[in-house]
Structure 1
Amino acid sequence: MSTTSIEDRQGGVGDGAAVPYRGPQPYGVPDDLVIPRVLELDDADDRLWVPQAPDVSFRPLLLSVSQGYFVNLLRVRRSGVLSRHQHAGPVHATTLRGRWHYLEHDWWAEEGGYSFEPPGDIHTLVVPDGVAEMITMFHVTGAYIYVDPDGKPTGVEDVFSKLGAAREHYEQVGLGADFVEQFIR
């Protein structure tokens, strides 16, 4: 059995003193990304929300162009069918406000809940009547492939289309096209 403490194994100094790492970061590691107060949903500058469709907008948090994924808040202020799509990669979702579901599944995504959607899954997102606003944090790897009821592709959305939409929107609302640069890693 090892006699080293957990602090020693984790790089601590053993006496409880906080000492930062003294060496250089590995070459090529990008800066950390920290966005304060993203969960203060009612206080956010409305210009941060990028229109996607009538009463549907997203707020980018991370646009990973090198790894092909994005993290954003999706805000929907209407009920009904939002989209039918297939995932090219895994999707993680945390519902922050409201509720939603997929016509093809019997589960509901509700405020405070987490859901995982595997690559290849095809489903139709619906916000039910009575939900004034749905906000969900999505971590999407790969693309959404929008499809008709028979699965025929009708469109694609990925980190690059999100980036392009955000650049255009931020330029139009006076934040400048380069405002989106802070979210790119």
Structure 2
Amino acid sequence: MSDTAHEVNYQVDDLVVPGGLDLDGTDERLWVPQADGVVFRPLIFSVSQGYFVNILRVRRTGTVSRHRHTGPVHAFTLRGRWHYPEHDWWAEEGTYSFEPPGDVHTLVVPEDVTEMAALFHATGSYLYVDEKGGPTGVEDVFTKLEKARNHYERVGLGASYVEQFIR
């Protein structure tokens, strides 16, 4: 047998999401409910490397979540603004922000914002915590994937619709 008979291709296929940053013209079924007034649109679930990229859209004000990241997070604010009261910076439309792992912070959308949308690239997990730092939940590429799969089945796109985002 030749050496080529044992070769395995580990290269991941390209992924292109047409209209991936379109916030207004999309089928609402593409947005996966996460909490009251909070939805996300997946762009990629990298199950082999433990990260996901999605657009988080928030249509309510106040605290969205208090959490800690186990890995780095990159964010691009596409609409509105948000902040972490634990820090002195604001993420406004057009802002890029980097969040190192380990810090506990509280995502807040201010009263004067009707919609906030941000693209998040998150590696590892989000550990949701209460006011005292106690764990209340966890989210990672696998829980986000399952939430999307269930949602797409429920809204008639079919559970397999999510497969296009898995790499």
**TM-score normalised to structure 2 length:** 0.94
Matches within 5 A, 1:11-160: 27-160=9-142
Counterpart AA for 1:157: E
Counterpart AA for 1:58: F
- The offset of 1:41, in angstroms, is 1.1
- The offset of 1:28, in angstroms, is 2.1
| Residues 69-101 of structure 1 deviation map (CA, whole Å, 9 limit, x = unaligned) | 100000000000000000000000000000000
- The offset of 1:138, in angstroms, is 0.1
1:167 match: secondary structure: helix
Q: Measure the CA separation in 2 of the matches of 1:55 and 1:85.
A: 18
| Residues 35-55 of structure 1 deviation map (CA, whole Å, 9 limit, x = unaligned) | 011122110110000000111
| Higher relative contact order, structure no. (Cα contacts within 8 Å, ≥ 6 residues apart) | 2
Q: Measure the CA separation in 2 of the matches of 1:58 and 1:50.
A: 5
Larger Cα-atom Rg: 1
Aligned residues: CA RMSD: 0.9
Q: Measure the CA separation in 2 of the matches of 1:30 and 1:88.
A: 24
Larger CA deviation: 148-157 vs 94-103 = 148-157
- The offset of 1:162, in angstroms, is 0.3
Aligned equivalent of 2:5: none
Q: Measure the CA separation in 1 of the matches of 2:105 and 2:22.
A: 30
Aligned equivalent of 2:4: none
Counterpart AA for 2:104: I
Unaligned runs of 5+ in 2: 1-7
State the aligned residue count: 160
2:113 match: secondary structure: coil
